[in-house]
């Protein structure tokens, strides 16, 4: 079914207002401990009454990798095409269950819905239990239906491999295909045919096909209802896929499975982020004109009018980390123009004459050990983990000579684990991952004790090299890379493209995004300049402005994080005098929200928590309970759920009238709106 709903820049309605909320966070009376695709209908009705017109979601793909609560992150997909079974609404099928099963379902539903947060494991387990019961009742009939046959034919490029992967994952109790029988290590049409020759495996495969079909129908129905109310729906395209995914299993040549993607140090993590995803093999993808990406975009366009391209900087370059590293500091940008030894020496650095190992191997002396572990612990650390190599220098013993090996230690306290990580990172350069004769300055090099050991002359030379490398050397090269791939991917659909361009952003990124008509992301507290906030006065039209994101603290919690920052913001930005209150009152939230809605940005999409916190009566007591994710932790439990039912929000006329009038007093209601 073609999506004819269009939201584009400079349209009949120039400015749009919306709500950002994960599906799993929605709450209605008919849910089953988690939000469901059908909840979008109630959310759309609430927004219609409130004068809003766009919903922004997090990724909605199946994430069943670990088969436990770690799968709660929507950014670690087992398939970037398959929808998550946890969002299936089984209520329309209750009549298909026996009275006993129906009664148990309703009782369990009541218990799960009473929880303040999502119980991911219990909810998903029970969803699958009832999905299997439903398949036993109507599965064969459904799969024989022509509508299903058409759905299967149109999605077979990914659907068959996904169903086969999930089946084998269940059989071997692992998502790591290298641990399966050898003949199952990679997908092929012949392998799929072999699986279908086994009646038991066929039943499992058909169950996965059946559930995907039901999810597809429910999401399509919900989105079409949103469109009837004039509400657009914006999806989210995660930056990567898990190495233990159906996508990597079926298309291993499209990924660098010996590398990991992440991010350099930023406001979220001082040691960088390691997402553990394989990086993309862009050269291989270019051979068929990015067919995999185009298929992914067309699949998204079946449901969404717009999308957020997570970490758009990854299309310029990605932060690539070796698989034996744990934290992000030992990574480097890829692709990037790495440095040969002679070019490093042109900066006056005796790279070869002093020995390359001095620059690329962990620099470990007594005073370094004391600094990291404490003087009283020096002898213990040396005895257990280090070998003396002369001239006051040490090296890590073989059993801890990678960060990954360090993680395998047992009965070692956390402070020693972190200290060993820091020793590994105490280098000035890292080798290029493709060419070992080329080098990259280690990110945050000047903060290492290895750097501090040098004299002032060499420090200045290293700092000059560092700044040349990170702030200019690669910019034109990265721009060339992005123009090779991103236009073809973006132009595969008519969806409105938005990019998440936060972090260590090259100067030319805004121009590239403007040329490609991709909306930028503006978060006031995360400035792209040296000023302490982003000046909303200069927000460009082709942008999305928001008060918070799923990775940041919501406004109320942010207000309490840094007292000095809040005070400055209160006086210089809000222009309110006196001492800033310790907590953000509804009036403070309203002031901040109002300034965002009055920007030139085409889209103003705010987290539902920040909308609700504009009121006093409806806000949750503890603002900490509103946080969705903490990026400082690789495995955060994503379980935030609204404390209010959408039915009650929709039917609260005082609330929806307040929102509507508030929005009408801002730029969001400029002439042109019907």
Q: At what angle do helices 199-228 and 189-196 cross, to 10 degrees?
A: 110
- Give the pair of three-digit tokens for residue 143: 């799969």
- Torsion angle of C-alpha atoms 275, 278, 283, 289, degrees rounded to 10: -80
The number of helix segments (H) and strand segments (E) in the chain equals 25, 17
Contact (Cβ atoms closer than 8 angstroms) between residue 437 and residue 340: yes
Q: Is residue 674 pLDDT above 50, yes or no?
A: no
Q: Is 248 helix (H, G, I), strand (E, B) or coil?
A: helix
Average pLDDT (185-203) is 96
pLDDT band at 198 (very low <50, low <70, confident <90, very high): very high
What is the residue-averaged pLDDT of the chain?
95
| Three-state SS at 614 | coil
The enclosing H or E element of 16 equals strand 16-20
Residue 524 contacts by C-beta under 8 Å, 6 or more apart in sequence? 533, 534, 536, 545, 547, 592, 596
Phi and psi at 76, nearest 5°, equal: -125, 80
Residue spans per domain, the chain: 16-251+279-316, 335-474
The answer to whether 234 and 55 are in contact (CB under 8 A) is yes
Average pLDDT over residues 85-114: 97
Question: What average pLDDT does range 320-338 have in this prediction?
Answer: 96
pLDDT of residue 670: 66
Contact between 502 and 526 under an 8 Å Cβ cutoff? The reply is yes
Q: pLDDT above 90 covers what percent of the chain?
A: 94
Sign of CA dihedral 96, 98, 100, 101: negative
Rounded-to-integer distance, Cα 5 and Cα 494, Å: 10
- With a cut of 60, say whether residue 4 has pLDDT above it: no
Element (H, E) at 307: strand 306-309
Please give the Cα distance from 328 to 455 (Å, whole number): 27
Q: Which two tokens stand for residue 112?
A: 């799960």
**What's the rounded mean pLDDT across residues 579-607?**
98
Q: Residue 244: helix, strand or coil by DSSP?
A: coil
Task: Give me 174's structure tokens.
Answer: 């692992």
Residue 355, C-beta contacts closer than 8 angstroms, at least 6 positions apart: none
Q: Kindly report the backbone phi and psi dihedral angles of residue 141, in degrees, each rounded to the nearest multiple of 5, phi listed first.
A: -65, -40
Of the pLDDT bands very low, low, confident and very high (cuts 50, 70, 90), residue 335 is very high
Whose tokens are 């909840």? That residue is 39
For residues 39 and 33, give the distance between their C-alpha atoms in angstroms, rounded to a whole number: 12
pLDDT tens digits, residue range 201-252?
999 999 999 999 999 999 999 999 999 999 999 999 998 899 999 999 999 9
Q: Give CA–CA dist 129/622, Å, rounded.
A: 35
> Tell me, what DSSP letter sits at residue 127?
H
pLDDT tens sequence across 347-370: 999 999 999 999 999 999 999 999
| pLDDT value of position 633 | 83
In this prediction, residue 1 has a pLDDT band, given cuts at 50, 70 and 90, of very low
Mean pLDDT on 321-344: 96
Separation of CA 160 from chain center: 26
Query: Residue 189: pLDDT band by 50, 70, 90 thresholds?
Result: very high
Q: What is the pLDDT of residue 6?
A: 76
- Which CATH number does 16-251+279-316 carry? 3.20.20.80
**Predicted structure pTM score:** 0.92
d(CA 570, CA 532): 13
Q: Residue written as tokens 């966070």?
A: 25
Structure tokens at 433: 């991952």
Question: What is the b/e burial string over 177-210, where b = at least 16 CB atoms within 10 angstroms of the residue's CB?
Answer: beebeeebeebeeebbeebeeeeebeebbbbbbb
DSSP state of 623: G
pLDDT at res. 171: 97
Look at residue 673 in the predicted model and tell me its pLDDT.
Answer: 40
What is the predicted pLDDT for the residue at 551?
93
| Residue 110: partners with Cβ closer than 8 Å, 6 or more residues away | none
Give the pLDDT mean for 473-493: 96
Percent of the chain with pLDDT over 70: 99
Token pair for residue 186? 């990679």
SS3 of the chain: helix, strand, coil, percent, to 5:
50, 10, 40
E strand map for 170-290:
232-237, 255-263, 273-280
The CA–CA distances, whole Å, from 495 to 9, 297, 299, 482, 491 equal 11, 9, 11, 19, 9
Long-range pairs for 376-384: beta carbons < 8 A, 24 or more residues apart = 381/416, 381/419
Residue tagged 């306290």 (tokens)? 413
Tell me the mean pLDDT in the region 134-160: 97
3-state secondary structure of 90: coil
Question: What whole-number distance in Å separates Cα of residue 65 and Cα of residue 606?
Answer: 30
In this prediction, residue 2 has a pLDDT band, given cuts at 50, 70 and 90, of very low
**269 phi/psi in degrees, rounded to 5:** -155, 125
User: CA 377 to CA 418: how far, in whole Å?
Assistant: 14
Mode of pairing for the β-strands spanning 232-237 and 306-309? parallel
Helix (H) or strand (E) holding 559: helix 555-559
On whether the CB atoms of residues 258 and 294 are closer than 8 A, the answer is no
Per-residue pLDDT at 606 exceeds 80: yes
| Residue 671 pLDDT level (bands cut at 50, 70, 90) | low
Per the CB < 8 A criterion, the answer to whether 429 and 446 are in contact is no
The rounded distance, in Å, linking the Cα atoms of 317 and 442 is: 16
State the helix-helix crossing angle for 39-50 and 199-228, rounded to 10 degrees: 10
Q: How far apart are CA 555 and CA 560, in angstroms?
A: 9
pLDDT per position as a tens digit, 491-527? 999 999 999 998 888 999 999 999 999 999 999 999 9
**pLDDT number for residue 503:** 82
H or E element at residue 512: helix 509-515
Residue 643 has pLDDT above 70, yes or no: yes
- pLDDT of 462 > 60? The answer is yes
Q: How sure is the predictor about 380, in pLDDT bands with cuts at 50, 70 and 90?
A: very high
Edge-first strand listing for the sheet containing 332-334 = 273-280, 255-263, 318-322, 332-334
Instruction: Specify the pLDDT at position 267.
Output: 78
């Amino acid at each position: 079914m073609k999506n004819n709903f269009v939201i584009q820049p400079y349209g009949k309605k120039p400015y749009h207002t919306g709500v950002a909320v994960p599906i799993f966070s929605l709450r209605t009376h008919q849910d089953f401990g988690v939000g469901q695709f059908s909840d979008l209908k109630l959310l759309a009705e609430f927004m219609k009454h409130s004068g809003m017109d766009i919903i922004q979601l997090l990724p909605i793909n199946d994430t069943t990798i670990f088969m436990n609560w770690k799968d709660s992150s929507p950014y670690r997909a087992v398939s970037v095409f398959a929808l998550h079974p946890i969002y299936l609404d089984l209520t329309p099928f209750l009549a298909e269950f026996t009275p006993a099963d129906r009664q148990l379902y309703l009782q369990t539903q009541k218990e799960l819905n009473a929880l303040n947060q999502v119980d991911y494991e219990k909810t998903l387990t029970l969803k699958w239990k009832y999905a299997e019961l439903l398949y036993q009742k109507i599965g064969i009939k459904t799969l024989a239906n022509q509508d299903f046959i058409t759905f299967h034919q149109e999605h077979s490029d990914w659907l068959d491999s996904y169903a086969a992967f999930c089946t084998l994952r269940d059989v071997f109790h692992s998502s790591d295909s290298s641990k399966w029988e050898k003949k199952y290590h990679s997908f092929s049409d012949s392998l799929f045919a072999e699986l279908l020759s086994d009646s038991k495996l066929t039943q499992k495969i058909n169950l996965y096909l059946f559930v995907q079909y039901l999810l597809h129908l429910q999401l399509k129905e919900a989105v079409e209802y949103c469109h009837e109310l004039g509400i657009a729906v914006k999806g989210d395209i995660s930056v990567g896929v898990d190495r233990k995914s159906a996508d990597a299993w079926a298309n291993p040549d499209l990924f660098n499975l010996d590398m990991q993607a992440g991010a350099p140090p930023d406001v979220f993590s001082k040691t960088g982020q390691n997402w553990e995803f394989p990086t993309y093999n862009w050269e291989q993808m270019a051979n068929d004109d990015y067919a995999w990406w185009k298929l992914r975009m067309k699949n998204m366009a079946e449901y969404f009018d717009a999308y957020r391209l997570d970490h758009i900087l990854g299309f310029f370059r990605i932060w690539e980390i070796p698989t034996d590293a744990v934290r992000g500091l030992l990574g480097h940008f890829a692709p990037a123009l790495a440095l040969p030894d002679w070019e490093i020496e042109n900066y006056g650095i005796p790279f070869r004459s002093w020995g390359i190992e001095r620059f690329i191997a962990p620099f470990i002396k007594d005073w370094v050990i004391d600094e990291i572990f404490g003087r009283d612990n020096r002898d213990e650390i040396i005895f257990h983990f280090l070998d003396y190599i002369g001239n006051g220098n040490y090296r890590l013993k073989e059993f801890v000579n990678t960060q990954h090996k360090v993680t395998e230690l047992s009965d070692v306290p956390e402070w020693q684990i972190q200290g060993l990580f820091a020793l590994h990172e105490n280098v000035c350069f890292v080798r290029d991952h493709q060419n070992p004769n080329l080098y990259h300055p280690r990110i945050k090099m000047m903060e290492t004790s290895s750097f501090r050991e040098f004299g002032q002359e060499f420090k200045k030379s290293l700092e000059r090299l560092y700044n040349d490398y990170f702030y200019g050397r690669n910019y034109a090269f990265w721009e060339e890379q992005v123009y090779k791939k991103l236009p073809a991917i973006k132009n595969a659909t008519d969806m409105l493209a938005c990019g998440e361009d936060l972090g260590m952003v090259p100067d030319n990124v805004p121009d590239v995004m403007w040329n490609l008509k991709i909306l930028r992301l503006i978060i006031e507290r995360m400035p792209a300049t040296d000023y302490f906030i982003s000046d909303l006065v200069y927000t460009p039209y082709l942008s999305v402005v928001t008060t918070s994101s799923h990775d940041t603290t919501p406004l109320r919690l942010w207000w309490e994080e840094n007292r000095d920052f809040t005070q400055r913001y209160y006086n210089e930005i809000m222009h309110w005098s006196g001492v800033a209150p310790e907590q953000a009152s509804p009036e403070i939230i309203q002031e901040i929200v109002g300034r965002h809605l009055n920007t030139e940005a085409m889209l103003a999409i705010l987290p539902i928590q920040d909308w609700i916190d504009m009121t006093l009566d409806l806000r949750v007591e503890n603002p900490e309970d509103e946080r969705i994710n903490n990026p400082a932790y690789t495995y955060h439990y994503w379980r935030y759920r609204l404390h209010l039912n959408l039915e009650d929000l929709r039917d609260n006329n005082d609330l929806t009238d307040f929102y509507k009038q508030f929005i009408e007093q801002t730029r969001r209601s400029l002439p042109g709106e019907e």
